[in-house]
Structure 1
Amino acid sequence: MSEEPVVRLTAWARGRVQGVGFRWWTRSRALELGLAGWARNTADGRVEVVAEGGREPCERLLAALRSGRTPGAVEAVVEQWGVAKGGLAGFVER
């Protein structure tokens, strides 16, 4: 059985997501799922999340971002999938 390929999820969360603990919460969920990457505030008020790992854990993180159980109030999450670039260690708030 082959190892699951590593993917890169980039997601942008829109709503009341800055200044409410959203990046910390996202970091905690990502670490629980064994993902590497980061979450950062953007100038337009969104939070950008980049996570690398197996497809299933990344899908679980995306589902968590859309769950309605995050800090603040997420109005929408847009995602983009790609090939992992590597070079990430742990999951950090930027």
Structure 2
Amino acid sequence: MNENVRLTAWVRGRVQGVGFRWWTRATALEIGGLSGYAGNLGDGRVQVVAEGARDQCQQLLDWLQHGDTPGRADGVTEIWSEPRGGYDGFEIR
């Protein structure tokens, strides 16, 4: 069963000012079925929240951890939880 989940990921490295959020959104839209956002944090990290089927969220996480991302992702911390809803598509914040 591919239940719906919420993925929250914090990406550290050189991920601000390099198009990382734009590429994250484009990748989420390419995977399909995901809603949420990618936003800059004050400490230099990017926070990614994605809701959708577990397989699609895992694909996005795999891309964040190992993909050919803009800038340089040095590490990703993630938590999985129940979806909360309230997102209209996938946005950049």
Q: TM range, normalised to the smaller chain?
A: over 0.9
Matches within 5 A, 1:15-94: 15-34=13-32, 35-94=34-93
Q: Could you state the TM-score of these two structures normalised by the residue count of structure 1?
A: 0.94
Deviations along 1:36-64, one digit per CA (max 9) or x if unpaired, are 00000000000000000000000000000
The structural deviation recorded for 1:89 is 1.1
User: SS of 1:57's equivalent?
Assistant: helix
How many residue pairs match? The answer is 92
Give the distance between the partners of 2:58 and 2:4, measured in 1 at CA. Answer: 12
Please list every run of 5 or more consecutive structure 2 residues that lacks an aligned counterpart in the other structure. Answer: none
Structure 2 Cα separation of the partners of residues 80 and 43 of structure 1 = 20
4+ residue runs of structure 1 moved beyond 2 angstroms? none
Q: Which ranges of structure 1 fall in alignment gaps of 5 or more residues?
A: none
The alignment partner of 2:58 has SS state of: helix
Alpha-carbon distance, 1:68 to partner: 4.3
TM-score for both structures, normalised by structure 2? 0.95
SS in 1 for 2:17: coil
Contact 1:36/1:90, CA 8 A, preserved across alignment: yes
Deviation at 1:80, TM superposition (A): 0.4
Give 1:21's aligned amino acid.
G
Q: Distance in 2 between matches of 1:44 and 1:27?
A: 21
The answer on whether the counterparts of 1:68 and 1:74 sit within 8 Å (CA) in structure 2 is no
Structure showing greater radius of gyration is 1
